Structure 1
Amino acid sequence: MPKVSDVPHLGKAIMEAIERGAPDVDLATLPNLTDMSADKLTENVIAVNAGTPNPRQKFVLAALVRHMHAFVKEVGLTPEEWMHGLEFLTKTGQMCTDIRQEFILLSDIFGVSALVDTLNHPKPEGATEATILGPFFVEDAREVPNGGEIAGEESGQPMLVKGRILDMAGNPIPNCLIETWETDEDGYYDTQRSGESGYVQDCRGRLYSDADGNYAFRCVMPVPYPIPNDGPVGQLLRGMNRHVFRPAHLHMMFIADGFEKLVTALYFKGDIFLSSDAVFGVKSSLVEDPKMVTDAAEARKAGFKKDQFLLCARDFVLITTEQAAEELVKAKAKAAEEAKAKA
């Protein structure tokens, strides 16, 4: 049988679709998709997707189809329920903007973000654990000098965060890019405060470690806050009677040549939401207990105008890209063994 474009007397719409990039397939290679029963539908959808040239994409799509169809059968999904789901996803997309990502939020509240992160970034003992990125990272944070300020003292309780960036052998990692962002004392990120004057950066910045791996920056103590609950994700959580709150945390990202990018965060001892984070991001190894410094001279030395500040001293240990690859291979082998044992 010829390709679609070889068939005579095709309408203009079909030819224009092919010109726009629709695959000009050989119809003889396709399965017969008529009279699809519930039993036949799943494997035929997978079969018609079999021309996917990328092997990994082909594998993922086949598994996705199987799981989606199995879900529909398991719950006996009704047309009304499916339409409700489609409307929900439509509203989720409509809520997304350049500074708000409702789909990331949806992934977060179902634990998918945390699961993908955990599976893909296993760490050896001694390395700093990763956690979720969240929906409030921006690509163009302003650069501040090492020891500089990412948040003014008027934005909350002053805090100095300092330490070293190290490899697994304890060697310093110089010139490591550090991205950091947090809420102000009201529990808002700067992207949530965009008004008539537009978006103004605050409580975020980027800096680099020095030749000895040292870093320091002045910020404010973040506070607990609700994830955005004015959209479809918030409506979904209300329907499940789930709270929408995250414990206070300071986001940090580390990028250095030869090392796996680390996306992590610091959480703080005593937070009332530490054990019930709405997006499953807390890890015990990332919990810190900042100390209050009341020496005015030390405050001036650190660059603060106020006479006291919180001090959070924390080293971060990165793994090389080779070590990351090795850990991922070991983690996948372990997962395969566990799956085989359960089969």
Structure 2
Amino acid sequence: MSAQVFDSKEVHSLLMAAANLNGGSGNARLQQIVHRLLRDLFMAIDDLDITPDEIWSGVNYLNKLGQDGEAALLAAGLGLEKYLDIRMDAEDKAVGLEGGTPRTIEGPLYVAGAPVREVVSAIAIDPDEDAGPLVIHGTVTDMAGKPLAGALVECWHANSKGFYSHFDPTGAQSDFNLRGAVRTGADGRYEFRTLMPVGYGCPPHGATQQLLDRLGRHGNRPAHVHFFVTAENSRKLTTQFNIEGDPLTWDDFAYATREELVPPVVEKTGGTTLGLKGDTYKTIEFNITLTPLVQGKDNQIVNRLRKAAAA
């Protein structure tokens, strides 16, 4: 093992200088965070005897991660995004706020700007011969079960190839294909008429899959559908449900599965009267319960960089 130097005066002075801790200028919160993260990294280098070759391999990896634009994908794959959910769950419990539809990770593929419809939106813009028709519907209520009129329900998911519009490497999808937003009616109802999604895998040559390969892990997700739900005097809900029966439901590389978020899939007929591409279709009822503000504030809003486009 190499020499242990972390506890030396020289190293602690270096940490203070690098973060400009107590330097009298700069962002004090950022200085605190950088100091702590550098401290933990330096300690790990000592404790694990991390070599210069390994350090520079890591630096090179971060360069590739940035070039590939996969930092948010890696955050999900390493459990960072799930960990934030665990913390928010614990914060809710600590203030006695339990119940409501469970949160789960947002993921990196939301796009703002989808057209907003009233109650019902047909979001399958592009034909997809490999995907059967699907209707997602439900009611948005408060904790007392009262329907929430005018709630905004945003929905997005992948196509039968596992690609999302605006991120499709084939360029085959129209803008806002399989993405939409609706305002609930007086009865709190919403509905999306769409196509059955499949799961997706990380880009096979990207930085995220490169690291997962070295860890001996796969980079695949089960079929799922994402939601943002907002309403007056309620906290914003970020969630998603998995498609029942997907073999990866309990082996999601992004750790997003929750038991309450696997609703049953039901087969029905009469799809042609709904404007679907076939008479037989699948339907998923996903009822959503929003939670109240905490001391008048929405502490579930997460500010992060998101893609936006004009419909």
Say which SS state the counterpart of residue 80 (structure 1) adopts.
helix
In the alignment, which residue of structure 1 is the partner of 2:305?
none
Q: 1:310 aligns with which of 253, 261, 282?
A: 282
In the alignment, which residue of structure 2 is the partner of 1:13?
none
Answer whether contact 2:272 2:279 (CA < 8 A) is retained. Answer: yes
Q: Which has the larger radius of gyration?
A: 1
Relative distance call for 1:268 and 1:64 in structure 2 (3 A) is same
Residue ranges of structure 2 left out of the alignment (5+ in a row): 301-311
Q: 2:155 aligns with which of 161, 176, 180?
A: 180
Answer whether contact 2:235 2:299 (CA < 8 A) is retained. Answer: no
In the alignment, which residue of structure 1 is the partner of 2:222?
247
2:158 and 2:134 mapped to 1: Cα distance?
Answer: 13
Q: Could you report, residue by residue, the CA deviation over 1:46-93 in whole angstroms, capped at 9, with x for unpaired residues?
A: 363234665544443332232222221121111111111111101111
Q: Does 1:88 align with 2:61?
A: yes
How far is 1:258 from its partner?
2.3
In the alignment, which residue of structure 2 is the partner of 1:46?
16
1 or 2 for the larger relative contact order (CA 8 Å, sep ≥6)? 2
Bigger CA drift: 129-138 or 63-72? Answer: 63-72
Answer whether contact 1:172 1:213 (CA < 8 A) is retained. Answer: yes
What amino acid sits opposite 1:87 in the alignment?
N
How far is 1:263 from its partner?
0.8
Say which SS state the counterpart of residue 284 (structure 2) adopts.
strand
In the alignment, which residue of structure 2 is the partner of 1:64?
37
Percent of aligned positions with the same letter in both sequences?
29
2:65 and 2:248 mapped to 1: Cα distance?
Answer: 26
Q: Could you report, residue by residue, the CA deviation over 1:169-205 in whole angstroms, capped at 9, with x for unpaired residues?
A: 1112221222111111222212342556896331111
1:192 and 1:57 mapped to 2: Cα distance?
Answer: 32
Where do residues 26-37 of structure 1 align in structure 2 (5 Å cutoff)?
Answer: none
In the alignment, which residue of structure 1 is the partner of 2:265?
290
Relative distance call for 1:81 and 1:207 in structure 2 (3 A) is same
In the alignment, which residue of structure 2 is the partner of 1:265?
240
2:120 and 2:163 mapped to 1: Cα distance?
Answer: 24
What amino acid sits opposite 2:112 in the alignment?
E
What amino acid sits opposite 2:181 in the alignment?
R
In the alignment, which residue of structure 1 is the partner of 2:72?
104
Say which SS state the counterpart of residue 181 (structure 1) adopts.
strand
How far is 1:241 from its partner?
2.0
Residue ranges of structure 1 left out of the alignment (5+ in a row): 1-36, 97-101, 329-343
> What value does the CA root-mean-square deviation take over the aligned residues?
2.6
In the alignment, which residue of structure 1 is the partner of 2:306?
none
User: How many residues are matched?
Assistant: 284
Q: Could you report, residue by residue, the CA deviation over 1:21-59 in whole angstroms, capped at 9, with x for unpaired residues?
A: xxxxxxxxxxxxxxxx63235532236323466554444
TM-score, with length taken from structure 1: 0.75
Answer whether contact 1:178 1:253 (CA < 8 A) is retained. Answer: yes
Relative distance call for 1:323 and 1:161 in structure 2 (3 A) is farther
Say which SS state the counterpart of residue 266 (structure 1) adopts.
strand
What amino acid sits opposite 1:60 in the alignment?
I
In the alignment, which residue of structure 1 is the partner of 2:144?
169
Answer whether contact 2:132 2:195 (CA < 8 A) is retained. Answer: yes
In the alignment, which residue of structure 1 is the partner of 2:123?
150
Say which SS state the counterpart of residue 70 (structure 1) adopts.
helix
1:268 and 1:183 mapped to 2: Cα distance?
Answer: 12
How far is 1:159 from its partner?
0.9
Answer whether contact 2:293 2:299 (CA < 8 A) is retained. Answer: no
Answer whether contact 1:42 1:65 (CA < 8 A) is retained. Answer: no
Q: Which structure has the highest helix share of the two?
A: 1
